[in-house]
Structure 1
């Protein structure tokens, strides 16, 4: 699953780079002379569930011809602490430099505190596009869009293993199987013993 998502991300980066060249028109072959970061945000978990770990991954790729400096990824507004618990990682992270043609990956594990519909918005990416740049460039990651956080009871009922249910079922069903078997085995033993005595 992770490999497929990575391939899709790299494909989107290639298409975005091609779009960038088309936007430049006649100067498409000329150097950009600045950094340009494309960023994605997606989930590595199949379902978001109340009180269960949910993994978010961010990929940043510099398609420009200069290093991006003082890069900051900030996604704190997407996951407020009153609705989500941060289990591992940070929602705001900084890189001093992302070289041209290179990419970085960052993951965060969160835990939803409640269930219901939720809008997964884009994270904000800020950076300096060149060493002599005086203004910070602002960009955004892709946004997964609206999703749903399952209630833990509903998720367990639908997706969790039914080991406990099978144990209870076998415990209840055992008497209806064991008792008739014992009666049959007892009568069979008596019949076998009587037949053996008669033959003697």
Structure 2
């Protein structure tokens, strides 16, 4: 019985760990008419319904240059899942930016400590 419960928990943990991003995307035309020489606004919405739910919205403004029929087809979205990709870059930038504010006082303290910690020789 314990083995069955352990196997069920292990299977549940594996399925939860492998769940990644599940994206839903939509494209909508915000203008009523597409007119030559006037701005045409498209909005792209990307919804992540996977393990880390979040939404992203992008708005694009285009200007049609010539008259005619245009087929607004569906967009194709490709993405590459990376484990901690932008997080590592953010922490590296944070480390580089905080290095002067921590490093300069540390060097000043160390030089002062070294100057006053040297034992003086006694003269007899």
The normalised TM-score by structure 1 is 0.32
CA distance in structure 2 between the aligned counterparts of 1:52 and 1:127, rounded to whole angstroms: 32
Match of 1:135 in 2: none
Match of 1:60 in 2: 46
- Aligned runs of 1:25-40 on 2, under 5 Å? 31=16, 33-40=19-26
Paired residues, number: 70
Give ranges in structure 2 of 5+ residues lacking alignment.
1-11, 85-124
**Offset of residue 130 of structure 1:** 5.2
Q: Tell me how large the CA RMSD over aligned residues is.
A: 2.1
Distance 1:33 1:130, change over 3 A: farther
CA distance in structure 2 between the aligned counterparts of 1:129 and 1:48, rounded to whole angstroms: 36
CA distance in structure 2 between the aligned counterparts of 1:116 and 1:128, rounded to whole angstroms: 36
Q: Which one of the candidate residues 50, 54, 57 is aligned to 1:105?
A: 57
Q: Does 1:51 align with 2:42?
A: no
Structure (1 or 2) with the greater strand fraction: 1
Spell out, residue by residue over 1:138-163, the C-alpha distance to the aligned partner (whole angstroms, 9 max, x if none): xxxxxxxxxxxxxxxxxxxxxxxxxx
Higher relative contact order (Cα pairs below 8 Å, separated by 6+ residues): 1
CA distance in structure 1 between the aligned counterparts of 2:82 and 2:47, rounded to whole angstroms: 15
**Offset of residue 33 of structure 1:** 1.1
Give ranges in structure 1 of 5+ residues lacking alignment.
1-26, 66-99, 133-200
CA distance in structure 1 between the aligned counterparts of 2:77 and 2:65, rounded to whole angstroms: 26
SS of aligned partner of 1:124 = coil
The normalised TM-score by structure 2 is 0.50
